[in-house]
């Protein structure tokens, strides 16, 4: 989901950038309050309040680490199956990984989707076993915390295995339909339709719970249902877009020989030079040998204090080329779409080796898509 951006970074785990959205605090607070004010005092009364709060805080942190393990497992298996992972972000309803491409075969899709619920299930079983062992020593709150972690991880595994997009079970359903029909688009349509059905069912159940007085549980189900419907709809739209762009190379959408900025130019020169005015909001940056090294945006340059612009090189405020999509002109345009949508600047530098030959923006994709959608000639070719 492109709209979810990390509020702060946790660094890298297994080489994958991991970020946290501010909404994770909502999960943490809900778990903290639910355990410290509810489950723990009810199960073990007459303890000092600080013990309930401390145990609840540790339990909440361990749960978030369990959630991270679930998401990292997807990313690692995706990488082993040839699917590059830009980063992943933990947020209110779980985690979102930004993938540079999709699984190339139904088997790869099955492996990538199936590992997440499997990891959660294994964690649930391990927590249950440790809780049983701790119970032999009458560990009190420790046993209660481990039992809760066991239950929540098993519940997470079961829920994610439901055959509906965007859940892991939806990916499994998609892989099976893809294998049977040979059509990725049809498989995605089946999985997203199932996702919308599940989402509406959860919303219906949630509204019923609100009416009978279980307001918090009902609202939570409505939120989850809305999320599932939204994500399933987005996935369906992306699949149709990939089908529409099938067979179109990047060279058909790119702007060739774009205006470039020298990496040694100052921010002041970049902002005042006439050829950079009123044309675009971002420009490729090249070094003295005309090798692409990054992309500078007007917004990024304008953020430099005016007094420092004359002494600040463009290279210091640009987005490095390693953080940008860099397709070859002959690469499929459809493969570039998720990279542009997930990137921070929504642009790609088209390279032949290290030589810059063009630039592609989200607007270019929209232009091509509009033409393909409205062209009777193209529609006739695709029938």
Output the pLDDT for position 379.
45
Domain for residue 287, yes or no?
yes
Residue 93 in this model has a pLDDT that exceeds 70: no
Task: Tell me if 315 is assigned to some domain.
Answer: yes
Position with higher pLDDT, 334 vs 190: 190
Domain of residue 369: give its range: 250-382
Q: State whether 261 and 234 are in the same domain.
A: no
* pLDDT tops 80 at residue 84: no
**Among 227, 244, 261, residue at a domain's last position:** 244
pLDDT of amino acid 88: 83
The pLDDT score that the predictor gives to residue 343 is 67
Respond yes or no: is residue 269 known to be catalytic.
no
Please identify, among 244, 271, 292, the residue that sits at the C-terminal boundary of a domain.
244
251: number of Cβ within 10 Å: 17
Same domain, 269 and 224: no
Q: Taking all residues of the chain, what is their mean pLDDT, rounded to a whole number?
A: 87
Contacts of 265 (CB under 8 A, 6+ apart): 313, 314
204 and 288 part of one domain: no
Q: Is residue 3 part of a domain?
A: no
Statement to judge: residues 150 and 281 lie in one domain: no
Q: What is the mean pLDDT of residues 298-322?
A: 92
Under DSSP, is residue 246 helix (H, G, I), strand (E, B) or coil?
coil
* pLDDT > 70: percent of the chain: 93
The pLDDT value given to residue 36: 93
Q: Are residues 354 and 240 in the same domain?
A: no
pLDDT per position as a tens digit, 342-368: 667 889 999 998 889 999 998 888 888
Final residue of a domain: which of 217, 244, 271? 244
Q: Check whether residue 87 and residue 120 sit in a common domain.
A: yes
Higher-scoring residue by pLDDT: 12, 172 = 172
For residue 271, what is the domain's CATH number? 3.10.580.10
Same-domain check for residues 151 and 286: no
What is the biggest distance separating any 2 CA atoms in the chain, rounded to whole angstroms?
Answer: 78
Average confidence (pLDDT) over 281-294: 92
With bands split at pLDDT 50, 70 and 90, how would you rate the model's confidence at 381?
very low
**Cβ contact 163:172 at 8 Å:** yes
Output the pLDDT for position 136: 84
Residue of 37, 71, 252, 308 marked active site: 71
Residue 1 inside a domain? The answer is: no
Most confident stretch, 137-146, 267-276, 304-313: 304-313
| Domain-embedded: residue 48 | yes
Domain tally, the chain? 2
The dihedral region occupied by 46, where left means phi > 0, alpha psi between -120 and 50, and beta the remainder, is left
Asked whether residue 383 carries a pLDDT value surpassing 60, the answer given is no
If you average pLDDT over residues 32-58, what whole number do you get?
A: 92
User: To which residue do tokens 């990313």 refer?
Assistant: 75
222 and 273 co-located in one domain:
no
């Amino acid at each position: 989901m492109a709209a979810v951006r990390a509020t702060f970074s946790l660094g890298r785990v297994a080489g994958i950038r991991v970020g946290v959205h501010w909404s994770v605090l909502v999960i943490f607070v809900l778990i903290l309050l639910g355990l410290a004010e509810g489950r723990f005092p009810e199960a073990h009364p007459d303890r000092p309040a600080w013990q309930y709060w401390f145990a609840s805080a540790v339990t909440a942190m361990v749960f978030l680490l369990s959630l991270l393990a679930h998401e990292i497992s997807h990313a690692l298996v995706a990488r082993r199956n040839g699917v590059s992972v830009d980063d992943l972000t933990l947020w209110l309803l779980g985690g979102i990984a930004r993938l540079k491409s999709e699984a190339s075969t139904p088997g790869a899709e099955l492996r990538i989707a199936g590992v997440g619920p499997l990891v959660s299930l294994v964690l649930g079983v391990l927590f249950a076993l440790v809780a049983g062992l701790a119970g032999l020593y009458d560990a009190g709150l420790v046993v209660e915390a481990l039992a809760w972690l066991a239950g929540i991880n098993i519940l997470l595994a079961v829920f994610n295995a439901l055959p509906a997009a965007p859940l892991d079970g939806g990916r499994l359903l998609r892989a099976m339909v893809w294998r049977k029909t040979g059509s990725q688009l049809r498989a995605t349509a089946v999985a997203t339709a199932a996702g919308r059905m599940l989402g509406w069912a959860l919303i219906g159940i949630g509204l019923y719970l609100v009416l009978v007085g279980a307001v918090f549980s009902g609202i939570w189900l409505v939120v989850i249902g809305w999320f599932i419907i939204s994500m399933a709809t987005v996935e369906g739209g992306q699949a149709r877009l990939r089908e529409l762009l099938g067979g179109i190379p990047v060279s058909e959408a790119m702007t060739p020989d774009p205006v470039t900025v020298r990496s040694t130019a100052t921010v002041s020169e970049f902002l005042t030079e006439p050829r950079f005015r009123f044309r675009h909001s971002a420009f490729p940056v090249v070094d003295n040998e005309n090798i692409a090294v990054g992309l500078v945006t007007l917004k990024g340059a304008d953020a430099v204090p005016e007094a420092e612009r004359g002494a600040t090189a463009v290279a210091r405020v640009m987005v490095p080329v390693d953080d940008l999509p860099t397709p070859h002109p002959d690469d499929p345009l459809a493969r570039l779409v998720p990279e542009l949508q997930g990137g921070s600047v929504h642009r790609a530098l088209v390279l032949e080796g290290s030589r810059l030959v063009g630039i592609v923006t989200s607007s270019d994709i929209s232009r091509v898509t509009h033409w393909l959608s409205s062209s009777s000639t193209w529609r006739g070719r695709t029938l």
